[in-house]
Structure 1
């Protein structure tokens, strides 16, 4: 396999812009484990092998168990995620597939039971950021170990 385009070489401004988004999220106070959960779930939905490989490794380095990593895609059937994590996973799925049903009022209400307005907007930015990374990686042909 070969990468189609090395985006960071073809247009360095893209990488700089993406790193600014990452910096905003890191400075927001969002829990790093929660951010990795978001990244993994969005990457699963989008089918981004490159990002899945990167973020499952990152979660392990943060001390998360293989069980919590492997069961993210079936979080509804697993009791190992907190209520806070569950609403974030639900929001991640809805925003990632926004064209399917948007974010229904009932889902928004569930999320807001656990998350204030500021965190809600931060989560949307976090979800948007990994979705952008997924699209860059998939469209340029990135795969695990390619860089």
Structure 2
């Protein structure tokens, strides 16, 4: 597979997504929680470039290999993730897979208990943002391996 189109040439069109990403990095959401959500949504969407990027960023932020390997099966490895992380991952999955019935009351209640209103909006924006980036990565077949995490 090779990249179909280098969308980075159109940076002026991407400014809103970059700005959203920067703002969410400054939010009250923990850096490792952010990386877990970005990784999980990218796994769901099959975005190899974003999976590569967010595993590298998570490692650079101090995430363990074991938790990275288990993110895809976090429900079965629930002891490895905090209640807040589990609520965030459930929310991320539900928002990514909206389906005909949206986000269930149970998942909403779990997320609302773990996050205040503002943080829940931040979490939702995080999921919206990575779903948008995944649509670029998958559609244009961005090749994994090119991204270097910040030191």
Question: Is TM more than 0.5 here?
Answer: yes
Q: Secondary structure of 2:134's partner?
A: helix
Instruction: Point out where structure 1 has 5 or more consecutive residues left out of the alignment.
Output: none
CA RMSD of aligned residues (A): 1.3
> Matched residue pairs, number?
146
Q: Secondary structure of 2:75's partner?
A: helix
Instruction: Tell me the equivalent position of 2:40.
Output: 41
| Structure 2: distance between partners of 1:142 and 1:103 | 30
Instruction: Tell me the equivalent position of 1:139.
Output: 139
| Structure 1: distance between partners of 2:100 and 2:4 | 29
Instruction: Tell me the equivalent position of 1:77.
Output: 76
CA shift at 1:34, angstroms? 0.5
Once the two structures are superposed, what CA deviation does each residue of 1:68-98 show, in whole Å capped at 9, x if it has no partner? 0000011111111000000000000000111
CA shift at 1:100, angstroms? 4.9
| Structure 1: distance between partners of 2:63 and 2:26 | 22
8 Å CA contact retained: 2:28, 2:119:
no
| Structure 1: distance between partners of 2:14 and 2:44 | 23
Divergent runs of 4+, >2 A:
none
Q: Secondary structure of 1:99's partner?
A: coil
Q: Secondary structure of 1:5's partner?
A: coil
| Structure 2: distance between partners of 1:2 and 1:14 | 23
Q: 22-31 or 70-79: which moved more? A: 22-31
Within 5 A, what are the aligned runs for 1:1-147? 1-9=1-9, 11-78=10-77, 79-146=79-146
Q: Normalising by the residue count of structure 2, what TM-score does the alignment of the two structures yield?
A: 0.91
CA shift at 1:29, angstroms? 2.2
8 Å CA contact retained: 1:3, 1:146:
no
Once the two structures are superposed, what CA deviation does each residue of 1:92-147 show, in whole Å capped at 9, x if it has no partner? 00001112531111111111111111000000000111111100111111021357
Q: Secondary structure of 1:120's partner?
A: helix
